[in-house]
Structure 1
Amino acid sequence: MTLAVVGLVLAAVLVWPGQVPGGLRRSGPAALTSRVPAWVPWRRSGDGRVQDLESLAGVADLLAMALRSGATPVAAVEVVSREAPRAWRGVLAEVRDELAAGGAAGAVWRRHAAHRPELGAVAGAWALSEDLGVALAPSMTTSAQVLRARVQARRRLEASTAGARATMRMLTLLPLVGLLAGFAFGLTPWEVYGHSVVTLTCAVVGLVLTAVGWLVCRWVLARAVAPKEHP
């Protein structure tokens, strides 16, 4: 039975909701050169994606600054790519090569945006500039503002669901209080739950219901925070 208890604790740790990220970081070269922590892959959709949005906003700001200073798009992309985070260096390198060859870089942005949705704002702004002749520097500035607005919205969303996640953690750990009480009286988990078929069955059913509860709660939270499209 001790293995079942350990399994419950490990399951709670594995599905432990991530912490709400801290305040917004500075944009600019200092922010771009900071490395993104090595988060667990399945948590990439949370804090990791927020950091990608934030770093991409910094890239768009630097592009706008370089363009306003009189640099050509090729030179601007070349300069920014040296300071950009690793996540965006490959995209910037392809954009630079396409511009150097005289092609349309908007198609490169859109191709990558199909796999990295956070690139959609920059891809749309660049394509708009190429198709309609809109000034590229203001378009990049607007893209940076849009990306930072998404960061703030995502963080507000994380904060609004913090209470529900805390409740999930508390209800998951609450059954362990019984085990701690048993330890206080010198009883092992097997002596608490394994002395009869009924108690052992209740313990197994409790583990199953806990797992089901986590799945249902995570599904409800995912539905609650999912973006909605309004006609």
Structure 2
Amino acid sequence: MVTVIAVLVALSVILSAPLDPASRLQDLLRTRTTSNEPRRAGRRAKEDPEQEKLWAISAVENCAHLLKVGMTPQAVMATLSRQNAQLAPISRAISLGEEPGRAIATRGAELPGAAAEVFAGMSSVWTVSERSGAPAADMILRYARAQRSALDADRERHIAMAGPKATVRVLSWLPLIGVGLGLLIGVKPAELFSGLPGQLSIGGGIVLYLLGRWWMRRMMVRAEA
């Protein structure tokens, strides 16, 4: 019995251990490298919303750079569609005479959620630039940089919250670990909790435990917002 409890305590310690520092370092390094590496195809974009947003931002940046060198919107979207087939409907609509901002807004809505959000913002920027006479390339590039900065900030915040989340997991396992250690040194919890003081103690402890979990979860949500 004592051996089983000891194994359970050891497993609880392992499960509640903080995240691997090496993986956290890799996340930080990936944040720096992906900020300068364009995404060519949507192959990796299907992995998660973050990758979808990354390739969409890269496509917007490429669009701005191509516009700066003097390419027409039709030629720009044709080039981007060759890099990523998901943009082919936008390129086709522009080639048929539809305005770039409108084509991106209507056809971009068919893209995956995170990418569609990026292209929706791009269509608004492009439309405003056309109506105001401002250089579309400069405005689109500023928009892309703002989107990338926001994405990097979200990732940095996620990595920063990894430590507190691991601490919460450790603290959540402490009551069970304490009971297991008590059994290992010969304490009999059943006798302690059989009386009224023990029952009040364990009841109050459970209430405080749940209250603490709720409070910590609220703080985490506010910090991530």
Structure 2 unaligned runs (5+)?
Answer: none
* SS of residue in 2 equivalent to 1:175: helix
Point out which structure has higher relative CO (alpha carbons under 8 A, 6+ apart).
Answer: 2
Which residue of the partner structure matches residue 65 of structure 2? Answer: 65
Identity across matched positions, percent = 23
Structure 2 matches for 1:18-57, cutoff 5 A? 21-22=27-28, 23-26=31-34, 27-29=36-38, 31-33=39-41, 35-36=44-45, 38=47, 48-49=49-50, 51-57=51-57
Q: Does 1:219 align with 2:208?
A: no
Kept after mapping to 2: 8 A contact 1:125/1:143: yes
Go from structure 1 to structure 2 and tell me whether the alpha carbon gap of 1:196 and 1:224 turns closer, same or farther (over 3 Å shift): closer
* SS of residue in 1 equivalent to 2:98: coil
More helix by share: 2
Q: How well do the aligned residues superpose, as a CA RMSD in angstroms? A: 4.2
Structure 1 letter corresponding to 2:32: L
* SS of residue in 1 equivalent to 2:33: coil
Structure 2 letter corresponding to 1:155: R
Question: What TM-score comes out, normalization by structure 2 length?
Answer: 0.62
Give the one of 88, 94, 103 matched to 2:98: 103
Q: CA deviation at 1:65?
A: 2.8
C-alpha distance in structure 2 between counterparts of 1:32 and 1:207, whole Å: 53
Question: What TM-score comes out, normalization by structure 1 length?
Answer: 0.61
Give the aligned length: 197
C-alpha distance in structure 1 between counterparts of 2:80 and 2:204, whole Å: 57
The structure having more radius of gyration, on CA atoms, is 2
Go from structure 1 to structure 2 and tell me whether the alpha carbon gap of 1:218 and 1:97 turns closer, same or farther (over 3 Å shift): farther
C-alpha distance in structure 1 between counterparts of 2:72 and 2:159, whole Å: 41
Structure 1 unaligned runs (5+)?
Answer: 40-47, 227-231
* SS of residue in 1 equivalent to 2:168: helix
C-alpha distance in structure 2 between counterparts of 1:123 and 1:73, whole Å: 12
Kept after mapping to 2: 8 A contact 1:193/1:203: no
C-alpha distance in structure 1 between counterparts of 2:65 and 2:76, whole Å: 9
Which residue of the partner structure matches residue 149 of structure 1? Answer: 149
Structure 1 letter corresponding to 2:171: L
